[in-house]
Amino acid sequence: MRTSIRPIAKSPHVDGTTHPSRPGRRGPQGTASLTKTMELLDMIGLAEQPPTFIELATRSGLPRGTLHRLLAALSEHGMVELSELDRRYTPGMHLLTLAQRTWEKMDLRRAAAEPILALNGRTGETVHLATLSGDAIVYIDKVECNYPLRLHSAIGRRGPIHCTAVGKVMAAYLAPDEQQALVHRLDLQRHTPTTLATPAALLKALKRIHAEGVAFDCEEHVAGNHCVAAPVFDFRGRCVGGVSITAPTVRVNAAQLQGFAGWVREAAAAVGARLGGAVPQRPATTRQGGA
């Protein structure tokens, strides 16, 4: 039996090309304005020549009042800019910031692929790659352990900063004013008896972590699990992520986790080197001490 395949509908683009048509205004109620705004942003960002207001009105078919309001909103948020010379619209600088942040995360994951796999091979335990996102961490990659007893973590999942090794190690390398603001903004929820649940305790730990270049989670998030993490630096010298090893205490004792610290630091430095970052100085001593 022959099956007929209907071609995907195409719609003309601002540069004369075509692309698959979007759901447009058929989406959930309340999304029509957002759809119009995104389509308008595409018209400006993908145009071969920056369009004028009249050209946008013609291409979009939007009423001039509506078009003016959408352009004003995009301009206010730095998504588009209006040239004072020729009155043409171009992509705004905020788009560059968003693109840069996106690429940084993609580059980080790519740079970390081999080092975290090698770290997993050396320890047999679960290795995470994470980055800061607002007031939380986000796991952007993971290499699972080789044992039946595993952790319930997932790529894309968010987690707390104050009670995870990878969260604390990234927070430790924030600028002092950023760090102070973050710590006093966080909900320092106590998950276990060892959770650092006051700003003073957390700030003290972050100072020690910054000096030592490695952080520990001593069952501070989940009872029975502990972690060690090290920071990843980019070519600007900024901490853009962290690499951690997480293991259950029934399989890896505190002394063994302490022994993993050197390996996790080496792995994080290898990731940073692939990003063009400076390799962090190796601390003279490393202690667990509740960090």
* Least trusted range by pLDDT, from 53-67, 94-108, 172-186, 214-228: 94-108
Q: What secondary structure letter does DSSP report for 9? A: P
The alpha carbons of the chain give a radius of gyration, in whole angstroms, of: 24
Looking at residue 3, what is its pLDDT?
Answer: 37
Per the structure block, which two tokens stand in for 243?
Answer: 């690499």
Residue 33 is predicted with a pLDDT of 84
pLDDT in tens, 137-193: 999 999 998 776 656 667 888 999 999 999 999 999 999 999 999 999 999 999 999
Both structure tokens of 13: 């683009």
Q: Specify the CATH superfamily of domain 98-274.
A: GAF domain (3.30.450.40)
Distance CA 53, CA 88 (A): 7
Model pLDDT for residues 39-74, shown as the tens digit of each residue: 999 999 888 899 999 999 999 999 999 999 999 999
pLDDT bucket at 235, cuts 50 / 70 / 90: confident
Q: Is 247 helix (H, G, I), strand (E, B) or coil?
A: strand
For residue 65, the model assigns a pLDDT of 93
Cβ neighbour number for residue 232 with a 10 Å cutoff: 33
245 strand-pairing partners: 127, 228
User: Looking at residue 24, what is its pLDDT?
Assistant: 41
The CATH fold assigned to 10-91 is Arc Repressor Mutant, subunit A (1.10.10)
pLDDT bin (cut points 50, 70, 90) of residue 99 is: confident
- Does residue 98 surpass a pLDDT of 90? no
Q: Is the pTM of this model over 0.75?
A: no
| Every domain of the chain and the residues it spans | 10-91, 98-274
